[in-house]
Amino acid sequence: MPGLLRGVARTAVVAGTATAVSNRVSRRQQGRWAQQAPSRPATPSLVATPPLPPSAPLTDDMNDKIDQLKRLGELKAQGVLTEAEFADQKRRILSD
């Protein structure tokens, strides 16, 4: 009987140690995940964002380029222009 009792005691110690180590590893991993997860506020923030700086007014030349690029994009979307043709024309418009 003493040998059986010793075996049961040893098994209990090993199982208890394994459980303790497993729990500690789980808690440590959960802590790491909590640090890596983006923190979201529970309620929406009421902090005001600073206003954007005023942008310089677009010149007529810049407006013309934007219009040309929009039309060029529409032609590409319709399949009239290939990717290479689109890139060439875009480069030409922007280099002027």
Residue 1 reports pLDDT greater than 70: no
Task: Please give the model's pTM, rounded to 2 decimal places.
Answer: 0.41
Contacts of 93 (CB under 8 A, 6+ apart): 65, 68, 69, 72
Q: What is the pLDDT of residue 14?
A: 75
pLDDT in tens, 33-50: 788 866 555 555 566 677
Confidence of residue 24 (pLDDT cuts 50, 70, 90): confident
Cβ distance 36 to 57 under 8 Å? no
Helix (H) or strand (E) holding 2: helix 2-36
Mean pLDDT across 58-75: 87
